[in-house]
C-alpha cells in the first residue's frame, strides 16, 4: 500500500495538470456565498386503490454555503482563469442530461448532507464531494464529476460515485482532483480483500450536442448517458459474469419553429439486471428508500415522449406518454454464480405499463409555485403474474419551491 500511494498521488497531480492544460480561456461566472438550486414539492396524492397520501418530491435540491478562493494562482500559468470553491450542502445535484432522470445521480433523493469543492478552469468544471448517509451502517456517498465543453455546442461529462459502508479505508477520502474511486478501491482491496465488500463504485459518461436549426428545421439537442456498475474486461469473462450496465439516449427540441411556446423530448432508458445492487446490502445504491440513480431501477426499460407548453413565462403544461417494462429483478437482488449469465432484461414474467399524464405548474411568486398532476395507465402482468391486468389513475396537488 505504501508503494502505491506515491503512484496514486503522482497520477492525481498529472490529471489535475491535464485539466488545466486542456482548458481554453473562457470567463467563469461565480456564485455568491449562498447558492440554492433545484426544487421540492409537497404533494397530496389520491387514487382509488390507496388512501390519500402526503409525500415530498425533490428535484436536484441544493442549498449550499459556498466559500470562494480566487485567484487560484497556478492555473493562470495555463492561460485560463481558475476558480476554487469549497461548499457544504444538504441536497444532491443531478448529473446527466436525461429528462426522466439520470442513471448515476438523479438528484431526487431525500436531502443528504455533504461537503466538497468545485474547481473551474476555462471550459472545464470539476466537483468532488463526500455525503453522509444512514449513520447506523456508517454509509457514505463519494462522488466526483468532470464536465468539459470542447465547443459551444458540445458538452462531455464523466462521473464516478461510490457507496461505502462500515470500516471502509480512509484512503477512499483522498480529495485530489481527478483521482479515480475505482483505482482507490483496487489499491485498498489489494491489501485487504474484505474492502471489496464495503465499496460499490459506479462509473458514468454522458454527452449533450446541440444541432442548430436551419429554415423550418428546429434546433435539436441530442444526448446520451452510459452507466457502468460492473463490466468484464474480456469477452471470455462474460461467459461466467455478465456486465451490469445502463443506457439512456434522447432527442430534445427546445422550441418548435412553428410555435416557440412548444418543446418536446423523446427518450429511451434501459437498465440491466443487478445494477444498483451489491452483495453487501449496505452498499446498495439507495438512500432512505429512494434510488440514487434513475427511478426506473434495474431489469427494466422505458420509452417516453414529452411535450411542454409554456403559455407565459410563469406557467408550463406538460403531457407525457410512456411505455415501461419491468422484469422480476429489483434493487437488492445482486448477481450470484447461480444466476444465468445469458439472462436478458427485462427478465422473467415482464410487467408492462402504458401510461399517460398531464402536469401543470405555475410560479406564483418566486420561488413559490403550485402544481397539479393526473396520471392514468394500464399495467399488464401486474405483480409479474401472467394475465393479471390493472387499470389505475392517480391525481395530485402540490405546493413547492423552485430555486
**CATH number of the structural domain spanning residue 35:** 2.40.160.10
The pLDDT tens digits for 179-233 are: 999 999 999 998 888 898 999 999 999 999 999 888 778 899 999 999 999 766 5
Question: What CA–CA distance (Å, rounded) separates 389 from 385?
Answer: 9
The pLDDT tens digits for 80-116 are: 457 888 888 888 889 999 999 999 999 888 889 999 9
More confident residue, 51 or 229: 229
pLDDT of residue 240: 58
The helix/strand/coil state of 10 is helix
Local confidence band at 366 (pLDDT 50, 70, 90 cut-offs): confident
CA atoms within 13 A on the CB side of 203: 10
Nearest by Cα to 322 from 298, 358, 294, 356: 356
Rounded average pLDDT over 160-178: 93
The pLDDT tens digits for 305-351 are: 999 999 999 999 999 999 999 999 889 888 777 676 666 779 899 99
Local confidence band at 24 (pLDDT 50, 70, 90 cut-offs): very low
Q: Taking the model in full, what pTM does it have? A: 0.85
User: Domain total for the chain?
Assistant: 1
Least confident piece of the model among 62-71, 222-231, 252-261 = 62-71
Rounded average pLDDT over 232-238: 55
Instruction: Answer yes or no: is pLDDT of 402 > 80.
Output: yes
Peptide bond into 71 cis (omega under 30): yes
Peptide bond into 349 cis (omega under 30): no
- Domain hosting 75: range is 4-402
By CB atoms closer than 10 A (0-12, 13-18, 19+), residue 229 is buried
| Alpha carbon separation from 400 to 51, 65, 315, 362 (Å, rounded) | 22, 21, 14, 10
H or E element that contains 17:
helix 4-22
C-alpha cell at 68: 470562494
Amino acid at each position: 500500500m505504501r508503494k502505491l500511494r506515491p503512484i496514486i498521488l503522482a497520477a492525481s497531480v498529472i490529471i489535475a495538470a491535464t485539466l488545466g492544460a486542456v482548458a481554453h480561456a473562457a470567463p467563469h461566472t461565480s456564485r455568491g456565498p449562498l447558492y440554492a438550486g433545484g426544487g421540492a414539492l409537497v404533494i397530496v396524492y389520491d387514487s382509488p386503490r390507496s388512501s390519500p397520501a402526503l409525500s415530498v418530491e425533490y428535484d436536484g435540491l441544493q442549498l449550499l454555503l459556498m466559500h470562494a478562493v480566487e485567484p487560484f494562482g497556478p492555473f493562470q500559468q495555463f492561460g485560463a482563469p481558475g476558480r476554487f470553491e469549497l461548499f457544504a450542502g444538504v441536497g444532491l445535484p443531478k448529473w446527466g442530461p436525461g429528462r426522466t432522470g439520470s442513471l448515476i445521480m438523479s438528484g431526487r433523493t431525500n436531502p443528504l448532507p455533504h461537503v466538497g469543492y468545485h474547481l473551474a478552469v476555462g471550459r472545464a468544471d470539476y466537483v468532488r464531494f463526500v455525503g453522509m448517509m444512514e449513520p447506523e451502517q456508517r454509509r457514505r456517498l463519494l462522488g466526483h464529476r468532470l464536465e468539459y465543453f470542447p465547443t459551444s455546442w458540445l458538452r462531455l461529462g464523466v462521473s464516478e460515485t461510490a457507496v461505502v459502508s462500515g470500516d471502509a479505508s480512509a484512503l477512499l477520502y483522498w480529495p485530489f482532483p481527478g483521482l479515480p474511486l475505482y483505482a482507490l478501491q483496487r489499491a485498498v482491496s489489494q491489501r485487504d480483500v474484505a474492502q471489496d465488500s464495503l465499496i460499490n463504485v459506479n462509473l458514468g459518461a454522458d454527452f449533450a450536442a446541440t444541432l442548430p436549426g436551419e429554415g423550418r428545421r428546429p434546433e435539436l439537442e441530442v444526448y446520451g448517458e452510459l452507466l457502468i456498475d460492473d463490466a468484464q474486461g474480456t469477452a471470455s469473462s462474460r461467459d461466467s459474469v455478465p456486465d451490469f450496465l445502463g443506457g439512456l439516449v434522447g432527442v430534445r427540441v427546445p422550441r418548435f419553429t412553428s410555435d416557440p411556446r412548444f418543446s418536446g423530448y423523446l427518450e429511451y432508458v434501459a437498465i440491466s439486471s443487478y445494477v444498483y445492487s451489491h452483495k453487501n446490502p449496505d452498499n446498495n445504491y439507495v438512500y432512505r428508500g429512494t434510488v440514487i440513480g434513475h427511478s426506473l431501477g434495474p431489469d427494466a426499460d422505458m420509452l417516453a415522449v414529452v411535450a411542454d407548453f409554456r403559455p407565459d413565462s410563469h406557467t408550463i403544461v406538460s403531457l407525457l406518454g410512456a411505455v415501461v417494462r419491468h422484469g422480476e429483478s429489483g434493487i437488492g437482488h445482486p448477481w450470484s454464480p447461480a444466476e444465468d449469465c445469458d439472462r436478458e432484461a427485462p427478465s422473467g414474467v415482464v410487467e408492462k405499463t402504458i401510461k399517460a399524464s398531464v402536469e401543470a405548474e405555475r410560479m406564483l411568486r418566486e420561488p413559490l409555485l403550485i402544481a397539479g398532476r393526473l396520471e392514468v395507465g394500464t399495467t399488464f402482468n401486474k405483480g409479474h403474474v401472467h394475465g393479471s391486468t390493472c387499470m389505475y389513475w392517480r391525481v395530485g396537488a402540490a405546493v413547492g419551491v423552485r430555486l
